[in-house]
Chain A
Amino acid sequence: AQTVTQSQPEMSVQEAETVTLSCTYDTSESDYYLFWYKQPPSRQMILVIRQEAYKQQNATENRFSVNFQKAAKSFSLKISDSQLGDAAMYFCAYWGTGNQFYFGTGTSLTVIP
Protein backbone atom coordinates (compact mmCIF):
# COMPACT_ATOMS: atom_id res chain seq x y z
CA ALA A 1 0.00 0.00 0.00
CA GLN A 2 1.11 3.52 -0.67
CA THR A 3 1.63 5.89 2.22
CA VAL A 4 0.79 9.56 2.30
CA THR A 5 2.19 11.72 5.08
CA GLN A 6 0.95 15.10 6.21
CA SER A 7 3.31 16.18 8.96
CA GLN A 8 1.38 19.28 10.04
CA PRO A 9 -1.73 18.33 12.02
CA GLU A 10 -2.65 22.00 12.45
CA MET A 11 -1.74 25.23 10.69
CA SER A 12 -2.92 28.80 11.00
CA VAL A 13 -2.71 31.79 8.69
CA GLN A 14 -3.72 35.42 8.85
CA GLU A 15 -6.46 36.46 6.49
CA ALA A 16 -5.01 37.65 3.13
CA GLU A 17 -1.68 35.94 3.81
CA THR A 18 -0.20 32.87 2.13
CA VAL A 19 0.10 29.44 3.68
CA THR A 20 1.70 26.20 2.46
CA LEU A 21 0.51 22.76 3.53
CA SER A 22 2.98 19.90 3.20
CA CYS A 23 2.46 16.40 1.86
CA THR A 24 4.91 13.63 1.08
CA TYR A 25 4.21 10.19 -0.28
CA ASP A 26 5.96 6.92 -0.78
CA THR A 27 5.64 5.00 -4.02
CA SER A 28 7.61 2.95 -6.52
CA GLU A 29 5.19 3.74 -9.33
CA SER A 30 6.00 6.22 -12.08
CA ASP A 31 2.46 6.96 -13.19
CA TYR A 32 0.05 8.27 -10.59
CA TYR A 33 -2.15 11.17 -9.59
CA LEU A 34 -2.15 13.42 -6.57
CA PHE A 35 -5.04 15.38 -5.11
CA TRP A 36 -5.84 17.89 -2.42
CA TYR A 37 -9.29 17.71 -0.87
CA LYS A 38 -10.90 20.24 1.47
CA GLN A 39 -13.38 19.34 4.22
CA PRO A 40 -15.00 22.40 5.84
CA PRO A 41 -16.44 21.92 9.33
CA SER A 42 -19.57 19.76 9.17
CA ARG A 43 -19.60 19.99 5.41
CA GLN A 44 -18.91 17.85 2.42
CA MET A 45 -15.40 17.02 1.25
CA ILE A 46 -14.62 18.67 -2.07
CA LEU A 47 -11.78 18.52 -4.55
CA VAL A 48 -9.37 21.46 -4.48
CA ILE A 49 -6.76 20.53 -7.05
CA ARG A 50 -5.35 17.58 -8.96
CA GLN A 51 -1.91 16.83 -10.42
CA GLU A 52 -0.86 14.15 -12.88
CA ALA A 53 2.60 12.81 -12.11
CA TYR A 54 3.65 12.80 -15.76
CA LYS A 55 3.08 16.55 -16.00
CA GLN A 56 6.00 18.67 -14.90
CA GLN A 57 3.95 21.84 -14.74
CA ASN A 58 2.45 22.53 -11.34
CA ALA A 59 -1.34 22.61 -11.23
CA THR A 60 -3.08 25.84 -10.27
CA GLU A 61 -6.69 26.61 -9.49
CA ASN A 62 -7.34 30.28 -8.75
CA ARG A 63 -5.74 31.00 -5.34
CA PHE A 64 -4.63 27.39 -4.93
CA SER A 65 -1.44 26.02 -6.42
CA VAL A 66 0.81 23.06 -5.83
CA ASN A 67 4.55 22.54 -5.70
CA PHE A 68 5.04 19.06 -7.12
CA GLN A 69 8.53 17.67 -6.65
CA LYS A 70 8.44 14.18 -8.16
CA ALA A 71 11.97 13.13 -7.26
CA ALA A 72 11.46 14.23 -3.67
CA LYS A 73 7.94 12.73 -3.61
CA SER A 74 6.57 15.97 -2.28
CA PHE A 75 3.26 17.64 -3.10
CA SER A 76 2.59 20.81 -1.16
CA LEU A 77 -0.46 23.06 -1.44
CA LYS A 78 -0.11 26.83 -1.43
CA ILE A 79 -3.11 28.98 -0.62
CA SER A 80 -2.67 32.62 -1.54
CA ASP A 81 -4.72 35.53 -0.20
CA SER A 82 -6.27 33.31 2.44
CA GLN A 83 -9.95 33.83 3.14
CA LEU A 84 -12.11 32.91 6.13
CA GLY A 85 -13.85 30.33 3.96
CA ASP A 86 -10.56 28.49 3.49
CA ALA A 87 -10.73 27.26 7.08
CA ALA A 88 -11.09 23.49 6.83
CA MET A 89 -9.38 20.16 7.13
CA TYR A 90 -7.19 19.52 4.08
CA PHE A 91 -6.35 16.04 2.90
CA CYS A 92 -3.65 15.02 0.48
CA ALA A 93 -4.46 11.90 -1.56
CA TYR A 94 -2.63 9.55 -3.92
CA TRP A 95 -4.08 7.42 -6.72
CA GLY A 96 -1.95 4.82 -8.51
CA THR A 97 -2.28 1.50 -10.24
CA GLY A 98 -4.08 0.00 -7.27
CA ASN A 99 -7.21 1.88 -8.33
CA GLN A 100 -7.89 3.29 -4.93
CA PHE A 101 -7.17 6.52 -3.11
CA TYR A 102 -4.71 6.70 -0.24
CA PHE A 103 -5.29 9.66 2.04
CA GLY A 104 -3.03 11.47 4.46
CA THR A 105 -4.09 12.16 8.03
CA GLY A 106 -5.11 15.72 7.26
CA THR A 107 -4.08 19.26 8.21
CA SER A 108 -6.53 21.47 10.04
CA LEU A 109 -6.23 25.04 8.75
CA THR A 110 -7.39 27.98 10.83
CA VAL A 111 -7.75 31.39 9.21
CA ILE A 112 -7.31 34.29 11.64
CA PRO A 113 -9.29 37.46 10.84
Chain B
Amino acid sequence: DVKVTQSSRYLVKRTGEKVFLECVQDMDHENMFWYRQDPGLGLRLIYFSYDVKMKEKGDIPEGYSVSREKKERFSLILESASTNQTSMYLCASSTLRQGAQPQHFGDGTRLSIL
Protein backbone atom coordinates (compact mmCIF):
# COMPACT_ATOMS: atom_id res chain seq x y z
CA ASP B 1 0.00 0.00 0.00
CA VAL B 2 1.10 3.52 -0.76
CA LYS B 3 2.05 5.49 2.29
CA VAL B 4 1.98 9.26 2.28
CA THR B 5 3.20 10.65 5.57
CA GLN B 6 2.76 14.21 6.72
CA SER B 7 5.08 15.24 9.52
CA SER B 8 2.44 16.70 11.85
CA ARG B 9 -1.29 16.12 12.39
CA TYR B 10 -1.68 19.37 14.32
CA LEU B 11 0.50 22.47 14.32
CA VAL B 12 0.14 25.85 16.02
CA LYS B 13 2.30 28.75 14.90
CA ARG B 14 2.37 32.51 15.32
CA THR B 15 1.80 35.23 12.75
CA GLY B 16 4.97 36.07 10.87
CA GLU B 17 6.70 32.76 11.54
CA LYS B 18 8.19 30.72 8.73
CA VAL B 19 6.38 27.38 8.70
CA PHE B 20 7.47 24.12 7.09
CA LEU B 21 5.05 21.29 6.32
CA GLU B 22 6.74 18.08 5.29
CA CYS B 23 5.40 15.23 3.19
CA VAL B 24 7.07 11.93 2.35
CA GLN B 25 5.79 9.13 0.09
CA ASP B 26 7.23 5.65 -0.13
CA MET B 27 6.06 4.43 -3.54
CA ASP B 28 8.49 6.21 -5.85
CA HIS B 29 5.72 8.40 -7.25
CA GLU B 30 6.71 11.12 -9.66
CA ASN B 31 3.86 13.50 -8.85
CA MET B 32 3.32 15.23 -5.55
CA PHE B 33 0.71 17.81 -4.61
CA TRP B 34 -0.17 20.21 -1.81
CA TYR B 35 -3.81 21.13 -1.22
CA ARG B 36 -5.58 23.35 1.21
CA GLN B 37 -8.98 22.18 2.51
CA ASP B 38 -11.49 24.66 3.92
CA PRO B 39 -15.16 24.08 4.78
CA GLY B 40 -17.42 24.96 1.88
CA LEU B 41 -14.48 25.40 -0.48
CA GLY B 42 -13.35 21.83 -0.99
CA LEU B 43 -9.73 21.15 -1.89
CA ARG B 44 -7.74 23.83 -3.61
CA LEU B 45 -4.38 23.13 -5.21
CA ILE B 46 -1.48 25.20 -3.92
CA TYR B 47 1.51 23.71 -5.73
CA PHE B 48 2.45 20.49 -7.46
CA SER B 49 5.61 18.84 -8.72
CA TYR B 50 6.26 16.28 -11.46
CA ASP B 51 9.88 15.69 -10.71
CA VAL B 52 12.72 16.55 -8.41
CA LYS B 53 13.41 20.28 -8.35
CA MET B 54 10.32 20.90 -10.48
CA LYS B 55 7.34 22.86 -9.25
CA GLU B 56 4.20 24.26 -10.76
CA LYS B 57 1.78 26.77 -9.27
CA GLY B 58 -1.72 25.63 -8.58
CA ASP B 59 -4.77 27.79 -8.05
CA ILE B 60 -3.74 29.52 -4.80
CA PRO B 61 0.07 29.77 -4.59
CA GLU B 62 0.24 33.23 -3.02
CA GLY B 63 1.99 33.21 0.34
CA TYR B 64 3.39 29.71 -0.18
CA SER B 65 6.47 28.14 -1.70
CA VAL B 66 7.59 24.53 -2.09
CA SER B 67 10.73 22.48 -2.22
CA ARG B 68 11.39 19.10 -3.80
CA GLU B 69 15.04 18.17 -3.37
CA LYS B 70 14.38 14.42 -3.29
CA LYS B 71 11.77 12.41 -5.16
CA GLU B 72 10.06 11.13 -2.04
CA ARG B 73 9.82 14.45 -0.20
CA PHE B 74 7.75 17.53 -0.97
CA SER B 75 7.78 20.44 1.46
CA LEU B 76 5.31 23.30 1.71
CA ILE B 77 6.66 26.56 3.12
CA LEU B 78 4.68 29.45 4.51
CA GLU B 79 7.20 32.27 4.23
CA SER B 80 5.49 34.55 6.75
CA ALA B 81 2.44 32.89 8.25
CA SER B 82 -0.78 34.84 8.45
CA THR B 83 -4.06 34.06 10.20
CA ASN B 84 -5.83 33.49 6.87
CA GLN B 85 -3.55 30.52 6.30
CA THR B 86 -5.18 28.66 9.18
CA SER B 87 -6.49 25.55 7.44
CA MET B 88 -6.18 21.83 6.83
CA TYR B 89 -3.31 21.00 4.48
CA LEU B 90 -3.29 17.77 2.50
CA CYS B 91 -0.38 16.24 0.64
CA ALA B 92 -0.94 13.73 -2.16
CA SER B 93 1.13 11.71 -4.58
CA SER B 94 0.49 9.78 -7.77
CA THR B 95 2.42 7.90 -10.39
CA LEU B 96 3.07 9.36 -13.81
CA ARG B 97 1.41 6.90 -16.14
CA GLN B 98 -0.78 7.56 -19.13
CA GLY B 99 -4.16 8.81 -18.13
CA ALA B 100 -5.25 10.11 -14.80
CA GLN B 101 -3.90 8.10 -11.93
CA PRO B 102 -5.60 8.25 -8.53
CA GLN B 103 -3.97 10.39 -5.94
CA HIS B 104 -2.95 8.93 -2.59
CA PHE B 105 -3.39 11.31 0.29
CA GLY B 106 -1.70 11.83 3.63
CA ASP B 107 -3.65 12.23 6.88
CA GLY B 108 -3.50 16.01 6.68
CA THR B 109 -1.99 18.71 8.88
CA ARG B 110 -4.37 21.00 10.72
CA LEU B 111 -2.47 24.26 10.96
CA SER B 112 -3.53 27.10 13.24
CA ILE B 113 -1.90 30.52 12.95
CA LEU B 114 -2.39 32.69 16.02
Residues of A within 8 A of B (CB): 1, 4, 6, 9, 32-33, 35, 43-47, 50, 52, 91, 95, 100-101, 103-106
Contact = CB atoms under 8 A, between A and B. Distances in A.
Contact of A33 (B42, B90, B99): B99
Contacts, number: 42
A52 B99 CA distance: 9
Interface of B: 33, 35, 40-45, 48, 58-59, 90, 99-100, 102-103, 105-108
A45 B100 contact: no
B99 A91 contact: no
Nearest to A106: B42
B107 A44 contact: yes
A48 B42 CA distance: 17
A33 B35 CA distance: 19
B107 A91 contact: no
B102 A105 contact: no
A100 B56 CA distance: 10
Q: Which interface residue of A35, A91, A103 has the most chain B CB atoms within 10 A?
A: A103
A43 B40 contact: no
A46 B40 CA distance: 19
Interface centre among B58, B99, B102, B103 (most CB of A within 10 A): B102
A105 B99 contact: no
Contacts of A35: 100, 102
5 contacts: A6-B42, A9-B40, A44-B107, A44-B108, A103-B35
